Amino acid sequence: MHRHTFAFCLLLFVFCLAASAASRPRARAAGIPFEGAPGPLDAITDVAGVEVGHSTIISGEGKLVVGVGPVRTGVTAILPRGKESVDPVFAAWFSLNGNGEMTGTTWVEESGFLEGPIMITNTHSVGVVRDAVVKRRVDRSVPGDWWALPVVAETWDGGLNDINGLHVKPENAFEALDTAASGTVKEGNVGGGTGMVCFGFKGGIGTASRKVDAKVGGYTLGVLVQCNCGRRTQLHIAGVPVGLEIEKQPAQQQERGSIIIVIATDAPLLPHQLKRLARRATMGLARDGSTSGNGSGDIFIAFTTANPGAAGAADVSQIAVLPNERMNPLFDAAVEATEEAIVNAMFAAETMVGVNGHKVEALPIDRTREILKKYNRLQE
């Protein structure tokens, strides 16, 4: 082939890939009628100060060779106050079903604070990511900061990824931390969500947010998910049984996935209130159809950026606290943003082929819109 012809074909291929990505709108833009008012980005980064970064690892194809590939995995980092801050945040966690891992949570439970980033990766890479966060903290520590219990969570990507090849390295955790930024959050086949499957379709990273009415505080709440849960027949979108309506069924129907849900807010909440908030993610997950099967690790964590400096006060600290009676709008926001974040992950994720040629199809957006229209649920 002439080199100019080859170059043209390569450019055409890249253009087609870009066009394919551009043709996959976010769920709300595609007419999915979600409840609630989102923030300007409809992302966890609508909560001021929150930064998100990814490291995505994709290489190889064909037959699985452990230690070689194919590789479809990565790391995602959520920094509550951004890279420049070492100020802990009030936090709490909740396990809906414990067939999964989120390290560091016993100290979150005991202390009421999250003292660093939240990292998400694949099941067999939790250790290396945890150690990388410790190393980063040691390398950049201030006097007296001599220990760390990082929060690192996981979901299983072995259907597409050479998970036993242990391809995530410390450098990937560093990349996710170093590239973390405010603004638009990449979704779908990125970071820790690269090799994930959700409701029988390609899953991954998704995010959404809600803005509480100014009359009840005007607070912002954002959610980020790494979704790898559910069976196709369970999938509901905006109350519509989309999974049942789509005829083609994947061979694997057993529930053996997981989901990690991170909730951020700027509302002034104490740890016990944040645990109440984390529990509400359960209802957003259920709206999309999951019943949290035996093999699913469904683990949630919530934090607030309110009350900066509370952890490091030298004496009695005065903090703001929202009364329990005023939490209902935040409960609504957590449910609504969780529901939307999961659907956003599937809308963004593209078809992927992984180990042994295993192919996981992307959620067909046009077909989904047709189904919602049939049920009079599409917002044109």
> Residue 234 corresponds to which tokens in the numbers above?
């369970």
Query: Kind of pairing, strands 201-202 and 197-198?
Result: antiparallel
Phi then psi for residue 155, to 5 deg, are -140, 160
Residue 317: partners with Cβ closer than 8 Å, 6 or more residues away: 309, 310
Residue type (1 letter), 76: T
Best CA proximity match to 351, nearest among 365, 369, 368, 371: 365
Is 141 considered catalytic here?
Answer: no
Burial category of 133 from C-beta neighbours within 10 Å (exposed 0-12, middle 13-18, buried 19 and up):
buried
Beta-bridge partners for 57: 73
Is 20 an annotated catalytic residue?
no
The one catalytic residue in 209, 290, 292, 296 is 296
Q: Is 55 a catalytic residue?
A: no
Contact 123, 302 (CB under 8 A): no
Rounded to the nearest 5 degrees, what angle is found at the Cα of 163, between the Cα atoms of 153 and 157? 60
- Annotated active-site residue in 258, 266, 288, 290: 258
How far is the C-alpha of 185 from the C-alpha of 207, rounded, in Å?
A: 8
CA distance 241 to 233: 8
**Nearest-10 Cα torsion for 344, 52, 151, 196:** 40
Which is nearest to 160 in space by CA: 56, 19, 265, 30? 56
Distance CA 53, CA 133 (A): 14
Q: 339: part of which helix (H) or strand (E)?
A: helix 328-348
Catalytic residues: 258, 296, 298
